Structure 1
Amino acid sequence: MLDQPDIIAAIATPPGRGGVGIVRISGKNLTSLARIILGKLPEPRHAQLSQFLDVHGKIIDQGIALYFPAPNSYTGEDVLELQGHGGPAIMNLLLNQCLACGARMAQPGEFTLRAYLNEKIDLVQAESVADIIEASTSEAARCAVRSLQGRFSTTIDELVRSLTTLRMFIEATLDFPDEEIEGLHDEEVREKLDAISQQFERILSSAHQGNLLQEGIKVVLVGAPNVGKSSLLNQLAEDDVAIVTEIPGTTRDSIQKLITIAGVPIHVIDTAGLRETTDIVEQKGIERTQAVVKDADILIRLIDCSCHAPGEDSEILQAFSIDKPHITIFNKIDLTSQTPGIETNEHAVKVYLSAKTGAGVDLLREQILRAAGWQTGQTGEGLFMARQRHLEALEATRNHLNTAWKYSNSESEWELLAEELRLAQDALSSITGHFTADDLLGEIFSNFCIGK
C-alpha cells in the first residue's frame, strides 16, 4: 500500500477554455479540506451542487462536487472532484485554494501511480490509461480500452500460472528424487513446455500487432527530384498536404502527415529530392532526409518509370543502409502503358502506380501494412496495446523458453531447466508490475499528463 499521507491536487481537464473544468484531489481524510472549500463533506458518490469558497468564505465558482471515499475510488484513497466552469482563471483560483488548504501539486501521472501502488490496477492497466489519452486512431483507442479492462494482464497471468505449475512439478522432482510423482517424465515435460510455448507465441503475435497501433509506423518517401513523392503523400493523405509543381527541388524540407490504414497510424514523411546541388537550402533539406531515414520503419523509394534508366538511382540507394523493409515504387504509369500491379520476390517489393491519378495506391497501402508485419486478417478484439518495454520483456521470455527447451531432454539438466523457467516467469511478471524496479516506475509515470 502507498505510504504517503499527503494530499495531492491538480486540474484534470486540458489547458484552455471549456464548458467544464475539473480539479481532482486525492489523499487520506479530505474532511477538513472539503469543509473549508464546500462547507461540508459531500455525501459519497452523489453529485452535489455546491459553492466553491476561498479562505475568506467568498465564492470562487459554483459547480458539482463528487466525493469517493477510500478504498472505492480511482486511486484507492479518498478522492474529491470539483467540477466548475472551464475557464483558466477559475480553475487556477480553485486549485490554489486546494493548495492553501494543505494539498500539494500532483506530479505527472501521480493519481494513476497511486492507483497502481494501492493495487487498484496493475502496471499494464496503468499504462493503458495514457495510451487511451494518446491514441491517434479509433482502433488504437479500442485496443487500449481492452488493456485497461485487463485483457492483456489476464493472458499474461494465465501464462505465468502455466509456468508456475510446470516449475512446481520439476522442482518437486528435484527436491524429492526418491518420491514417485505421477505424470512427470521427460516426454510429458516437453509436452507441457510445448503447450506453454504455443500459448506464448499467440500472446507475442497479438502484442506485436498492438504495438503497431500504439507506436504507429514511420514511412519515409525517398527519391530523386520530381519523381512524385509529394504527389504520393497527397494521395495517401487524401489531401493537398504538400506543394506539387513541375519544378525539381520544390520540396526543400521534410513534411510529415499522420494517416490511417486499416486503423493503423502511419506517419508518412515526404523528403527533399536527392541529387547533387549547390543550393544551400536544398542541401540542408537533403541532410534532413538522411536524418529521418535513419529513424524510418519502412523506406519507400520512388522512381519515375516514364524516363527511368537502369542504375540511374544507384547513388540514392548507396546513400542509405537498406537494412530495413523497403518498397520500390515505379510511379507515373499514367504516362506509360504499364498497368497497376505488384512484383514481389524474397529480396524486393515493386509497386507500379500513378500518384497523379491514384491508380495502384491501394496496392501500396496493403504493402505498407505487410512490410510492417500487420496481419490484416486478425480481428482487433484479440489485440493488446503493447509498449516497447512489453515487447522487450516478451523477447526475454522467448529466449528463456528456447533455452529451457535445450535442458528438457535430460533429467540431469532439470535444475537448469527450472532456472530458465523461473527467469521466463520473472520477465513476464515485470509486464504487469509484480516485479518492477522503482526507476522504471518513475520513467513510465513521468510521461503521463498532470491530473491523471
Structure 2
Amino acid sequence: MLARHAEPIAAVATAGGRGAVGIVRASGRDLAGLVRALCGRALQPRHATLLELRNAEGEVIDEGLALWFPAPHSYTGEDVLELQVHGGPAVLQMLLGRLLELGREQGLRVAGPGEFTERAFHNGKLDLAQAEAVADLIDATTGAAVLGAQRALAGEMSREVHALGQRLRELRALVEATLDFPEEDIEFVRAHAVGVRVGELVEALRALLARTRQGALLREGLHVVLAGQPNVGKSSLLNALAGAELAIVTEVPGTTRDRLRESIQIEGVPLHVIDTAGLRDTEDRVERIGVQRSWEAIAQADAVLFVHDLARVAQPSYRAEEARIAARLREHGVPEARVLHVWNKNDALAAPEAEAAARGLAAELGLGEAAVAGPRLSARHGQGLETLRQQLLQRCGWEAMPEGVFLARTRHVQALQACERHLEQAAAWLAQSSPALELLAEELRLGHVELMGITGEVSADELLGDIFSRFCIGK
C-alpha cells in the first residue's frame, strides 16, 4: 500500500453550490480523538447525533448530525466520520477547515478525487469492478443505467468473473502439475479432458462477454451521426427524435453549417445524436468547413443514419450526389454494417412508388436488401420514428436481457476479449498431435491475468490511478 493511503483524509462530499443539506466526511485510522475534539464527546457508533459544531474560538459554525463508523464497519474500512449540516458552501468549507486544523498532527489532508472509494478497494470492501460501478451510478443518465450500475455494484459481474477465474485457476493447476512429470504429461492432460474443459470455459466466457458488451453499451451510449445531402430532413429528424425544436429547419439548403449534438435515450440506452452539415461541394467557406467536420464525425460514429429524400429520388442530379456520398463513405472506411439507410419524406409518394424509388436508388448505389428495408418515415410529421428507433438499437447490437444488464466498461470488454484469445490459442496448442504444454500453461496464465484484472486482483498502479482520478472529490 502506498504511504498516502495511511494518511487520514477529509473532503466535502456533496456537489458544489448551495443546498438544503451538505456533507463533510473524514476517513483514517484511529480517528476517535479527532471525533471527540470536534464534537465535544464520544459518539455512539452508527447512530445519528444532533450537536453543535464549533470553531477554535468556541463559536457555533452550525448545528447538524454527526455519524461515527468505527473500522472496519464503514465504507472505506477505516474509521469514518460523516457530518450532515446545512448545505451552504461557506458552512461546509469552515467545517472542513476545522477538521483539517484538528487533525493536523495526524497528517489529515484533503482527499483527492475518488480517494474514499479507492480506500474501500484497497481495504477489501469493494473489488475494482464494484468501485467503478460507484462512479457509474453517480454518472448514470437513464433509469436503465441506474439499475445496471446497481447490479454491478451488488457484484453481479464480479461473481461471474470470479466463477470463471476459479475454473481457470483449477485448470492451470492441473496443467502446471504435469510439467514436473514430462514422461506422462500428454496422457495426463488428455485423461483429464483438458481440451473439453478449455472449450467449456470459452463458451462461458463468450456468454459473459455478450452481457458485458450490452453493459458497456448501456453505460457509454452510442454516437449516431445524421448524414446526407442538404434538405433531406436531417435537422427535422433530430428534432423529432429529441422531441424539441433544437435545430433550425428551413427550405434553404445549407442551413446547418456545424455539428449539433443532442443526447436522447431509447429503451434506456443513451444515444448521442449529431446533426451535421449537408454533404455537398460548396464554394461557401464556412459551409465547406462544416462539411469537413461532418466527415470527421461520420468516421468516428458508432452508427451513421444515411438520410435519403424519397421526394427527390427521380432527379438525376440528386442520384448522382447520392452516389458520390456512398463512395465517400467507403473511402472513409465506414463499413456498411454501421450505416442505417433512412428513407425520409415517405408521405410525398404513394406506398408502391416509395418502394420502387427506394429499390431503384439502392440498386444504383450498389446497396443490398438491408438498405431497402431501412425505415420509411416522415421526420416532419413524426411517422415511422418507432421503427427507426428499433432498427437503430438492432443495428448497434442492443438486446434486452430478461435477467437484466449490469453496467460495464470498455476495458472490461477488452479484458474478456483478450482472455478469449488466449484460451482459443490454448485450445489450438491442445489440438496438435504433440502439444507443447509449457505454451499451453502460459496461454492459460495470460488469460487468467486478463480476466482477474477486471476485478482488480491483478492491476497496474497506472490503471488504478486512471480509474479513481475520474471520480468526484468526496467519493
- TM-score range (shorter-chain normalised) is over 0.9
Q: 1:329 aligns with which of 324, 342, 345?
A: 342
Q: Residue 24 of structure 1 aligns to which amino acid in structure 2?
A: R
Which has the larger helix fraction?
Answer: 2
Equivalent in the alignment of 1:407: 429
| Cα distance in 2 between the residues matched to 1:166 and 1:292 | 46
Q: Residue 20 of structure 1 aligns to which amino acid in structure 2?
A: V
Segment of structure 1 superposing worse, 160-169 or 215-224? 160-169
Q: CA deviation at 1:318?
A: 3.9
1:247 matched to 2:252: yes
Q: CA deviation at 1:238?
A: 2.0
1:388 matched to 2:389: no
Q: CA deviation at 1:175?
A: 2.0
Q: CA deviation at 1:330?
A: 1.6
Q: 1:285 aligns with which of 265, 281, 290?
A: 290
Q: Residue 453 of structure 2 aligns to which amino acid in structure 1?
A: S
Segment of structure 1 superposing worse, 269-278 or 211-220? 269-278
Which residues of 2 match residues 13-32 of structure 1 at below 5 A? 13-32=14-33
Q: TM-score, normalised by structure 2?
A: 0.89
Which residues of 2 match residues 298-377 of structure 1 at below 5 A? 298-308=303-313, 309=315, 310-320=319-329, 321-324=332-335, 325-338=338-351, 345=368, 348=371, 350-376=374-400
Cα gap change, 1:95/1:187 in structure 2, threshold over 3 Å: closer, same or farther?
closer
| Counterpart contact for 1:2–1:118, Cα < 8 Å | no
Q: CA deviation at 1:174?
A: 2.8
Q: CA deviation at 1:311?
A: 3.0
Q: Residue 129 of structure 1 aligns to which amino acid in structure 2?
A: V
Q: Residue 198 of structure 2 aligns to which amino acid in structure 1?
A: L
| Counterpart contact for 2:257–2:276, Cα < 8 Å | yes
What are the superposed Cα offsets for residues 153-202 of structure 1, whole Å, 9 maximum, x if unpaired?
11001001111122222222332356799985268222211111111011
| Cα distance in 2 between the residues matched to 1:189 and 1:206 | 26
| Cα distance in 1 between the residues matched to 2:20 and 2:236 | 41
| Cα distance in 2 between the residues matched to 1:290 and 1:345 | 23
What are the superposed Cα offsets for residues 32-52 of structure 1, whole Å, 9 maximum, x if unpaired?
322232112311100000111
Equivalent in the alignment of 2:69: 68
Cα gap change, 1:390/1:270 in structure 2, threshold over 3 Å: closer, same or farther?
same
| Cα distance in 2 between the residues matched to 1:6 and 1:89 | 25
Indicate the SS of the match to 2:76: coil
| Cα distance in 2 between the residues matched to 1:412 and 1:307 | 64
Q: TM-score, normalised by structure 1?
A: 0.94
Which residues of 2 match residues 53-452 of structure 1 at below 5 A? 53-101=54-102, 102=104, 103-177=108-182, 184-185=189-190, 188-308=193-313, 309=315, 310-320=319-329, 321-324=332-335, 325-338=338-351, 345=368, 348=371, 350-376=374-400, 378-379=401-402, 381-409=403-431, 410=433, 412-452=435-475
Segment of structure 1 superposing worse, 15-24 or 317-326? 317-326
Indicate the SS of the match to 1:277: coil
Identity of aligned residues (%): 47
| Cα distance in 2 between the residues matched to 1:72 and 1:137 | 32
Cα gap change, 1:406/1:366 in structure 2, threshold over 3 Å: closer, same or farther?
same
| Counterpart contact for 2:280–2:321, Cα < 8 Å | no
Q: CA deviation at 1:5?
A: 3.1
Gap regions ≥5 residues in structure 2:
360-366
| Cα distance in 1 between the residues matched to 2:258 and 2:119 | 44
Indicate the SS of the match to 2:375: strand
What are the superposed Cα offsets for residues 334-379 of structure 1, whole Å, 9 maximum, x if unpaired?
1111379898947746332111122222121112111111124x23
| Cα distance in 2 between the residues matched to 1:197 and 1:346 | 34
Segment of structure 1 superposing worse, 279-288 or 47-56? 279-288
| Matched pairs, number | 450
| Cα distance in 2 between the residues matched to 1:302 and 1:17 | 46
Gap regions ≥5 residues in structure 1:
none
| Cα distance in 1 between the residues matched to 2:133 and 2:461 | 19
Indicate the SS of the match to 2:66: strand
For the aligned residue pairs, the C-alpha RMSD in angstroms reads 2.2
Q: Residue 408 of structure 2 aligns to which amino acid in structure 1?
A: A
